[in-house]
Chain A
């Protein structure tokens, strides 16, 4: 089980929660589990998100391992100039 922190305005998709728990061993499983548990997140995840694991930001990487005690933060898809 991993704890996922969500950005504030996703509360509307999770019944007011900004911290949720899902069963996952890697980023791909985590995103899939989130979309299944909170269907309103599905479109947001499908539209593109980033994931920060223990402070490092990953974009579009399904197989990054997540340890049970990892800090996991779901972040919007980001882009620079």
Chain B
């Protein structure tokens, strides 16, 4: 289904066109490498004379470091270097200092697993043995891992004496951030309601569950020049952080990204990289570090856990009169912005006269949270969509009709501030309503859940270069690690714009010294922003090639156009010349002026927001509380799907991660503040055999901010499943569920409680 956008609107980049390459499904260019093992991931990298480093981690959830004695370690055979926080440079700005302190604890350990020291040795075995010789004296302190308890005046304070900005009176020292959004008169809105539902919800912290643990190899010579090879979502970010933390200029540190075995936001910061670089600086040898799975769980960043109160009023005919949410998120031991993003997204799907969302970010003795696909939105929208579903139940209204009645559209003042431009929520809801899934009969103990979802999508700093090779093929060089098929999409957009076959283009992700700066691969930005820069780089190359053809033909460059991969004369006075193809122009490039290339560097704006609607049928076993996903369909606006396979994959992957969040996944802490389930055996992510095929329906409502209409698609897919599954389970079990994950014991307890 395609809703056409009006061409030529003010400020638009978009122009409607007939595509030849975009929208097709060529084989993925990284497929052979990945299935044959030829692809090099972070842990595959080696260097001559390489050392192996491991990290000593805190056994306490909260403790003051009285002393660290490493004297016995360096005397051990095979040990070449040891580092503690003393070996890093103090940072300007609290954000960078927090990141550094998370890499290596300074003064206090703030969670179970917090890094305290690291040893580089000739083998992992020697390094691990050496860790046992480090003597750390701790003064154990009281700890707290629960968000609501951490907000009490009686809670232990993590960062004593640190003042966080703009925290209203009445909040304790663990509240690191407060934000409020909304508009209209809540009292007036609730007074108009026929029914008001107020409910409190909790969600557990979950991990991104990427299959590849963090891994890096760093080397630094006596000349002060360094190199890092790393699996990351952003190697420029790694370069900037690692260089700052060890005290070197960025020009002296070159960072090359490996293939990446999943990120989902979890590889948008540094953990090992500055430590490996500092150890290499001390030892003069390359240093490799690879996290164990247990370390990934204990010390890398999961998402936040949350505790939220929601109140929504509705008229008998389904019009929402007011919505209010109070969101409390804990993101571990350091400040973050995730609750704020939750507050901004909570009501974004709806056109409301009165809305208010307040967000508190809270510190606890858990690992520093990291981004996880649409950070903050899934748990916020879960609460709002659950209450809307409950209102529909109480008023006996169709859940999609109610959402259509209240849906945000062009001209709606959003709950987070701006007025929406062209958006696709109504079309997405209409597609869900018309789909056979929505009318399919349900069996015993089955329930159907519906939820909308929203995400902003971002863009940012982007550099792309494009070399026209002498044989007419094209090399595209970009600087964003490919976490979701972007190399295929970038090649397709280059081929489309140049008018050549997809197979003639190869896109690579270059190191930090080979191309201009690029922001991290996050915020669903790459296909949108790098794609836009690629199209503009291609247009620069085309301009160059048209100029070369004009020279050869002896006519003005203005009299040459580009059509189907060739320069052609245009206009009455241009003369008669046969088309000159890319290969012909490129073959003579040395004779016509030298190498032909195009490039584009820009801080891209105009990422269009994205909406999705998920439908799910679940069956709950009333004897065991086990939930089976029977059928699942995702509807999402992609703007324009460059390579539909990858877009469907993003939609399916988001749904599956959300299903895991809804049903199984949970960081479990003991009374001692230690993580109890740091492994995939006890932290259960969904696998293929747990699930039916996830059907994906792509809608294409072009984004005015992109030449081909592209919107980001990577994050929106994880937003609706929490509520969709919760609503389905609530219908199937006959009781409203308000805590995630909805594990079998929790569902049984709810069923028993409702009897």
- Chain A interface residues (CB < 8 Å from chain B): 5, 7-10, 12-13, 43-44, 47, 52, 54-61, 64, 71, 73, 75-81
Chain B interface size, under 10 / 10 to 19 / 20 to 34 / 35 or more: 35 or more
Are B166 and A55 interface neighbours, CB within 8 A?
no
Which are the 10 A-B pairs with shortest beta-carbon distances?
A81-B265, A80-B523, A81-B371, A8-B180, A52-B418, A73-B417, A9-B180, A55-B421, A73-B418, A58-B605
Min CB gap B587→A, angstroms: 41
- For B437-467 the 0/1 string (1 means CB < 8 A from A) is 0000000000000000001111110000000
Are A75 and B523 interface neighbours, CB within 8 A?
no
Are A81 and B458 interface neighbours, CB within 8 A?
no
Are B165 and A80 interface neighbours, CB within 8 A?
no
* Set of chain B residues within 8 Å of A57, measured between Cβ atoms: 418, 456, 458, 605, 607
Asked, given contacts A57-B605, A71-B418, A73-B417, whether A79 binds B371 with beta carbons under 8 Å apart, the answer is yes
Asked, given contacts A60-B603, A78-B456, A81-B375, whether A44 binds B166 with beta carbons under 8 Å apart, the answer is yes
Cβ of B557 under 8 Å from chain A: no
Are B165 and A75 interface neighbours, CB within 8 A?
no
CB contact between A81 and one of B178, B182, B264, B344 (< 8 Å): that residue:
B264
Are A80 and B603 interface neighbours, CB within 8 A?
no
Which B residues between 566 and 616 are near A, CB-CB below 8 angstroms?
603, 605-607
Cβ of B373 under 8 Å from chain A: yes
Could you say which of A57, A76, A79 has the most chain B C-beta atoms within 10 Å of its C-beta? A79
Could you say which of B374, B421, B524, B605 has the most chain A C-beta atoms within 10 Å of its C-beta? B605
Are A79 and B603 interface neighbours, CB within 8 A?
no
Are B178 and A9 interface neighbours, CB within 8 A?
yes
- Chain B interface residues (CB < 8 Å from chain A): 11, 165-166, 168, 178-182, 264-266, 268, 337, 340-341, 344, 356, 358, 370-375, 416-421, 455-460, 522-525, 603, 605-607, 705, 715
Could you say which of A13, A44, A56 has the most chain B C-beta atoms within 10 Å of its C-beta? A56
Asked, given contacts A8-B182, A75-B416, A80-B371, whether A56 binds B525 with beta carbons under 8 Å apart, the answer is no
Are B178 and A80 interface neighbours, CB within 8 A?
no
* Set of chain B residues within 8 Å of A59, measured between Cβ atoms: 458-460, 603, 605
Docked CA distance A66–B168 (Å): 32
Docked CA distance A40–B606 (Å): 29
Min CB gap B418→A, angstroms: 4
* Set of chain B residues within 8 Å of A77, measured between Cβ atoms: 337
Could you say which of A7, A58, A73, A80 has the most chain B C-beta atoms within 10 Å of its C-beta? A80
Are B605 and A64 interface neighbours, CB within 8 A?
yes
Are A75 and B715 interface neighbours, CB within 8 A?
no
* Set of chain A residues within 8 Å of B522, measured between Cβ atoms: 79-81
CB contact between A76 and one of B268, B340, B371 (< 8 Å): that residue:
B340
Identity of the chain A residue whose Cβ is nearest the Cβ of B179 in the assembled complex: A9
* Set of chain A residues within 8 Å of B373, measured between Cβ atoms: 81
